[in-house]
């Protein structure tokens, strides 16, 4: 892909044609609320005159993951898509219904477990179907923005498909603080894109229903580094990485051994040593205290921010790498 002979092509989405040198906002009608209000997915297309790669930047696949939505909002408002070459398709909010209801899902179904979808299926299935049919067919690769869920805060990280050399290289160019290979999940956007020969890297940063300024900066900076690498924007717009990227090769969830009030003693993103106490779980009345100990040395790249936990719940994601 990195030495591909790109063509300068017209982009067609829902009968809208965006030729070289043109930009357009397309509102893709999906369904109506019971009140009759039409719900539309906004799709921004920026198609430069000069040939180059076509990239999809998308967020809001899960409706409660607002940090990714804000990342793309900032990039649009700051006019970062004045392209020298290539094409960028921006979908800042895919799951509009979930967003309106502060919900990960769409009418009880996970859009990111509904691909390839069906034009006669559930609403989630139809969103997935038209997304692949109308948008994904126009791109060479994608950056998919997500956050942690259920009060779990992900330190900025990029995940790429196991065995994908292109995905690994894209992750290196993006250069988030952490990166690792991740298996494909059945019926996910990334798996369906992979079946169609489209590499996808997933940026995870922050947690659901929360803005995270640090994660947003990393998410924006990574996308700008990718665009600059392919000569799509001025390289001066791409900030240097804030720190060395750690590629994680071993990962393990640290889980609660008891129920109670949960208090951490470290910060997300920290390096920890084997046997280190990184949190306490106490009972409601202060009669018992259980230490949370690291099983091996490594890096914390996800923290559960729920103050009350049950036995067996995931508290920290710990990884090793270089």
The ranges assigned to domains in the chain are 11-237, 247-321
pLDDT for 238: 97
Give the helix ranges, DSSP H, for the chain: 66-77, 96-100, 123-130, 165-174, 189-195, 213-229
Q: How many CB atoms lie within 10 A of CB 294?
A: 20
Rg (Cα) of the chain, in Å, rounded? Answer: 21
Fold match flag (11-237 vs 247-321): no
Yes or no: say if 225 and 217 are a contact pair by the CB < 8 Å rule. no
Report residue 79 as tokens: 């006019």
What value does the mean pLDDT take over residues 79-103?
94
CA distance 18 to 272: 50
* pLDDT surpasses 90 at 61: yes
Residue 5, Cβ density class (10 Å: 0-12 exposed, 13-18 middle, ≥19 buried): exposed
Phi first, then psi: give them for residue 311, nearest 5 degrees: -55, 135
| Domain at 11-237, CATH homologous superfamily | Zn peptidases (3.40.630.10)
pLDDT for residue 239 is more than 90: yes
And the tokens for 10? 């017209």
Span 251-264, average pLDDT: 97
Q: Does the pLDDT of residue 219 top 90, yes or no?
A: yes
The Cβ of residue 317 has, within 10 Å, a number of other Cβ atoms equal to 24
Closest CA to 55 of 6, 103, 90, 31: 90
Structure tokens at 61: 């696949």
**pTM for the structure as a whole:** 0.96
Q: What is the pLDDT of residue 2?
A: 67
Please name the residues in contact with 37: beta carbons below 8 A apart, sequence gap of 6 or more.
none
Residue 229 CA to residue 71 CA, distance in Å, equals 20
Mean pLDDT of all residues in the chain?
A: 94
Q: What is the pLDDT of residue 108?
A: 87
Mean pLDDT of 141-149: 96
Handedness of CA 114, 119, 120, 124 (dihedral sign): positive
- d(CA 262, CA 303) in angstroms, rounded, equals 11
What pLDDT does residue 161 have? 97
User: How far does Cα 300 stand from its chain's mean position?
Assistant: 19
CATH 2.40.50.100 fits 247-321, yes or no: yes
CA 316 to chain centroid, in Å, comes to 19
Task: Please report the pLDDT score of residue 136 as a whole number.
Answer: 79
Q: Assess whether pLDDT exceeds 90 at residue 7.
A: no
- Does residue 255 contact residue 314 with C-beta atoms inside 8 Å? yes
Number of H helices, E strands in the chain: 6, 18
- The contacts of residue 85 (CB under 8 Å, 6+ apart) are 48, 49, 50, 51, 52, 230, 231, 232
Q: Could you tell me which residues come within 8 angstroms of residue 116 by beta carbon, excluding any fewer than 6 positions away? A: 128, 129, 132, 187, 192
List the Cα angle 142/148/139 in 5-degree steps. 5
Full DSSP string of 170-191: HHHHH--SEEEEEPPPTT-HHH
């Amino acid at each position: 892909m990195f030495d591909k002979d790109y063509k300068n092509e017209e982009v067609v989405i829902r009968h809208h044609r965006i030729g070289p040198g043109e930009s357009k906002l397309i509102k893709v009608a999906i369904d109506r609320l019971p009140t009759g209000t039409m719900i539309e997915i906004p799709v921004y297309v920026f198609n430069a005159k000069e040939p180059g790669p076509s990239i999809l930047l998308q967020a809001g696949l899960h409706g409660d993951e607002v940090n990714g939505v804000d990342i793309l909002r900032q990039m649009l408002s700051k006019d970062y898509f004045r392209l020298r070459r290539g094409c960028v398709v921006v979908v800042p909010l895919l799951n509009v219904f979930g967003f309106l209801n502060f919900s990960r899902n769409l009418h009880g179904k996970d859009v990111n477990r509904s691909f390839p979808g069906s034009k006669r299926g559930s609403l989630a299935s139809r969103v997935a179907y038209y997304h692949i049919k109308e948008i994904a067919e126009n791109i060479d690769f994608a950056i998919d923005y997500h956050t942690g869920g259920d009060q779990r805060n992900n330190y900025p990280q990029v995940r790429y498909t196991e065995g994908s050399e292109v995905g690994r290289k894209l992750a290196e160019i993006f250069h988030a603080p952490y990166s690792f290979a991740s298996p494909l999940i059945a019926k996910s956007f990334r798996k369906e894109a992979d079946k169609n020969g489209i590499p996808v890297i997933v940026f995870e940063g922050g947690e659901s229903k929360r803005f995270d300024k640090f994660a947003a900066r990393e998410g924006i900076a990574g996308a700008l580094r990718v665009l600059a690498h392919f000569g799509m924007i001025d390289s001066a717009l791409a900030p240097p990485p804030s720190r060395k990227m750690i590629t994680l090769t071993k990962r393990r969830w640290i889980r609660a051994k008891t129920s109670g009030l949960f208090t951490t003693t470290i910060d997300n993103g920290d390096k920890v040593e084997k046997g280190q106490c990184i949190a306490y779980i106490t009972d409601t009345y202060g009669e018992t205290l259980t230490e949370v100990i690291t099983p091996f040395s490594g890096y914390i790249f996800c923290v559960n921010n729920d103050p009350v936990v049950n036995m067996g719940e995931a508290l920290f994601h710990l990884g090793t790498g270089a």
